[in-house]
């Protein structure tokens, strides 16, 4: 991944320079490197070609920041060098630009956040799988219940016809059929009960899945929900096939704009007033964005002090105007510390915005929006930078 602002690249010993030299992503290289340190008895062939350059860049990242060799620092160095974690890339650059050190505790803190995000995603996937299984169970129980009921009716009708005859053998057969009918009716009742339980489980799982797609602090959709919504919007815009009609539809499809917002100097609020006040600031900004960006904007908390926005049906200039009005009105608000009554000062945010071109994947759109946010931070914060595709 190359630095979107080459004029701002640091000296060759900095992480920004390393990122600029990483031409190819090689996910297996970092795993091999971790394996070299964790399993010294295993001897592998040395990597060749671009893997050698990648390993050199990872080593330079670690040495330039005086970081120890641990799985967390190796993974962070790899993700920065190849540009696979946009948030990490931007946060490293911001710390470099501010003259702050990239330390092992800082990296481990980011790694812990990433682990929690992955755990939430795995839980959401598990809930989805369980919900699908509950639906299948409910359907199977209903089908079996119907079949059992029909079978019981058939047995009962047959028993009635047999009962019209005479003789001890017939009497025994009637008793047998009637016993089978009672057993079938009992089984039918149990299947109905199973169907009802499966329905209750499905509804509970559906509720849990909806809650799992929500950020509990702000009440906004979370990162996973935003990714799902963006992919859905892209599929609807691009259409199912690549024929003449679809190409025409793509050209005339409603625009999609994606943005990232980041609260300026948020760490200072946490350090000065405590995490409770920091959480309050997050909720205030979340509510403000939801109220002021318009009905065509889907707002989600992307993680930490960062929010993601999806404008459907608005071109870049219109989306920029909506978001800039929201930014300006946010800067006019004043919050007070509830304990001391002291004003917290101006709360502002920076944002990056881009419009998706037809056929462009979600990952590229998000990267452009993130680069625009980085530019907004570099240009002094409290501003919106729009980046054309």
pLDDT tens sequence across 242-298 = 555 555 555 678 999 999 999 999 988 888 888 888 999 999 999 999 999 999 999
45 is catalytic: no
**Cβ partners under 8 Å of residue 366, min gap 6:** 86, 230, 258, 260
The model's pLDDT over 135-154, given as tens digits with 9 standing for 90+, comes to 666 666 666 556 556 555 55
User: Among 131, 138, 305, 306, which one carries the catalytic annotation?
Assistant: 305
Q: How far apart are CA 160 and CA 356, in angstroms?
A: 72
Dihedral of the alpha carbons of 330, 310, 110, 276, in degrees to the nearest 10: 40
Q: Which pair of structure tokens corresponds to residue 88? A: 């990490």
Cα 143 to the chain's mean position, in Å? 37
Q: How far apart are CA 384 and CA 13, in angstroms?
A: 31
Helices 50-64 & 71-82, crossing angle to 10 degrees? 120
Q: Which pair of structure tokens corresponds to residue 350? A: 């920076």
Q: 292, 326 in Cβ contact below 8 A?
A: yes
Cα 257 to the chain's mean position, in Å? 18
Q: 362, 231 in Cβ contact below 8 A?
A: yes
Residuewise pLDDT in 10s, the chain (389 residues): 444 444 334 334 444 444 444 433 444 544 544 444 444 444 445 445 678 888 888 888 888 888 888 888 888 888 888 887 888 888 888 888 878 888 888 887 776 555 555 555 555 665 666 666 666 666 666 665 565 565 555 555 555 555 555 555 556 666 666 666 666 667 666 767 776 777 777 776 677 667 778 898 999 999 989 999 999 999 998 876 555 555 555 567 899 999 999 999 998 888 888 888 899 999 999 999 999 999 999 999 998 899 999 999 999 999 999 999 999 999 998 888 777 788 888 999 999 999 999 999 999 999 999 999 999 999 999 999 999 87
Q: How far apart are CA 230 and CA 310, in angstroms?
A: 7
Secondary structure class of 214 (helix, strand, coil): strand
Q: Which pair of structure tokens corresponds to residue 42? A: 């295993």
Q: How far apart are CA 72 and CA 108, in angstroms?
A: 6
Buried/exposed 98-109: b ≥16 CB within 10 Å, e otherwise: eeeebebebbee
């Amino acid at each position: 991944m190359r630095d979107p602002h080459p004029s701002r690249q640091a000296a060759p010993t900095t992480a920004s320079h390393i990122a600029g030299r990483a031409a190819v992503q090689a996910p297996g290289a970092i795993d091999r490197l971790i394996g070299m340190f964790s399993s010294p008895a295993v001897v592998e062939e040395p990597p060749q070609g671009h893997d050698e350059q990648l390993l050199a860049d990872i080593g330079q990242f670690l040495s330039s920041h005086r970081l120890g060799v641990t799985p967390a620092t190796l993974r962070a160095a790899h993700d920065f060098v190849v540009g696979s974690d946009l948030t990490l890339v931007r946060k490293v650059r911001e710390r470099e630009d501010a003259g702050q050190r990239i330390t092992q505790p800082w990296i481990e803190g980011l790694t812990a956040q990433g682990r929690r995000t992955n755990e939430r995603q795995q839980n959401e996937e598990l809930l989805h799988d369980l919900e699908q299984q509950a639906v299948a169970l409910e359907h199977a129980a209903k089908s079996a219940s119907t079949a059992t009921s029909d079978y019981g009716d058939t047995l009962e009708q047959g028993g009635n016809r047999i009962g019209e005859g005479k003789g001890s053998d017939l009497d025994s057969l009637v008793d047998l059929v009637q016993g089978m009918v009672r057993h079938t009716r009992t089984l039918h009742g149990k299947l109905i009960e199973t169907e009802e339980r499966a329905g209750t489980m499905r509804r509970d799982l559906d509720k849990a899945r909806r809650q799992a797609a929500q950020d509990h602090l702000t009440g906004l959709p979370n990162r996973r929900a935003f990714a799902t919504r963006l992919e859905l919007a892209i599929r609807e815009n691009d259409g199912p096939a690549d024929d003449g009609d679809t190409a025409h539809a793509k050209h005339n499809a409603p625009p999609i704009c994606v943005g990232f917002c980041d609260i300026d100097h948020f760490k200072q609020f946490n350090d000065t007033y405590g995490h409770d006040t920091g959480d309050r600031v997050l909720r205030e900004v979340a509510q403000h964005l939801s109220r002021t960006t318009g009905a065509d904007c889907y707002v989600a908390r992307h993680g930490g002090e960062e929010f993601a926005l999806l404008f459907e049906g608005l071109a870049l200039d219109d989306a920029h105007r909506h978001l800039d009005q929201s930014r300006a009105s946010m800067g006019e608000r004043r919050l007070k510390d509830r304990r001391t009554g002291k004003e917290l000062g101006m709360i502002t945010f920076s944002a990056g915005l881009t419009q998706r071109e037809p056929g462009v994947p979600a990952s590229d759109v998000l990267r452009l929006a993130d680069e625009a946010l980085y530019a907004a931070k570099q240009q002094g914060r409290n501003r919106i930078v729009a980046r054309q595709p």
